[in-house]
Structure 1
Amino acid sequence: MNPTPQTVTVVIPALNEAAGIGRTLASVAAQPGPVEVVVVDGGSTDGTAAAVHPALASARVIASERGRARQMNAGAAHGRGGALLFLHADTALPPGALDRVRRALAEPGVAGGCFAVTFDRPAPGEPAFGPLGRAAMRLWEARLWMRWHRLAFGDRALFVRRDVFDAVGGFPEQPIFEDLDAVRAVRRRGRFVFLDAAVVTSARRFRRGGAVRQQLRNLALWAAWNAGVPPARLKRFYPD
């Protein structure tokens, strides 16, 4: 007799994501269960909350104070699954993602992990990146970088055992790099694994700011975080 699959709670923090959250929810709806979905709205003014149920009727929508870490912690507190997966509202899961999570967390000593990442392509009518921009995006997608915990950003769909999440106190409620600080804490509780399957996340920030310029900004902020600069000081250089 096969054991009952573990319930995965998918927590989606959202702020003004009405236009794109349907794609994210559709990718979750295509996953095998058991799964529960908690969308945490941080005060959207564009109808994000109203866009959830037409895309996934079973999802729960809760309100929280604005702030990604605060919203993710609120969603986790409302979830009942033994595994938690934190999914950005502009990121889609690959087929079979939650089964991969269940298998990974069933391995002895595994506390959490994340996926690889790729970026979406421009929609019809959107400008495409130039040669330098395309090269910058391909560089970030390269698998060479995908197995280092200091690059385990939140847009890679972090997942963790519930007991580990509770033991580390959830995400630190800081304005930036809450994901990397949480990964650091999780690694002290067990192995952190890197799945080969890739989520697809939006490149909109790179389209707005320019791929090369945005990558250089991200690199500078990441280097400052590694050097110990407080996240509150770095946030002003990374607007919402």
Structure 2
Amino acid sequence: MFFAFAGYARIATLGEEVRDPRSTIPRAVVLSLGIVLAVYLVLAVIALRTLGVDGLAESTAPLSDVVRAAGHGGWVAVVALGASAACLGALLGLIAGVGRTALAMARHGDLPSALAVVHPQRSVPQRAEITLGIVLVVLVIMTDLRAAVGVSSFCVLVYYAIANASALRQSGEFRRYPRFVAWTGLVGCVVLAITLPISAVIVGGALLAAALAGRWAILHGTDAPEERDEIRGSDHREP
């Protein structure tokens, strides 16, 4: 269920591509989450009423089975086409959001600096997004996506937990919600992360440990302080 909602926060990474991000992005996050929740609830009720609990539990293509059970088998191809379009839409959102994350990491030396390039007219990180698209194609072809979902959920929960912990330190005009909201999110992320399949926790933890070790090696592998400052990134960069 968590993975089904993962992604709406990608909106928060697009601050450089929208007008008035301080008001636009929070409104977009709340609206998108609310709309998706309503759609999920409607579909869940329809599927349960049509297939029943046991039938839905055994189904590998529930929406197609709902259409068949309702006596409209000819529409199964349309449902499959709609599902494919929805997956592509989610993929585009993923590429846009993670591309921005890769851009920020490249600016701070956590990824190759060649990815820290923004298109002069469209203001999108084209190199990061193209690279991400290639990586995703390779992953789809070469990995078990069910295992990837578990590992992805663990890593996302970890950085969501960090985001909630960071929100606890907000103050003044930057605080939008009471502290208990961030505490609830932090505890919820930690609980969900440790209750994932043990294989996902081990692989996800190993990936994060390797990334942290690599970052430590990069930051401490330079001799001159100015080189370390350059790797960490600077807030005084060209817009």
TM-score range, shorter chain: under 0.3
Give the structure-1-normalised TM-score.
Answer: 0.25
* Structure with the larger helix share: 2
- Higher strand proportion: 1
* Larger RCO, structure (CA 8 Å, separation 6 or more): 1
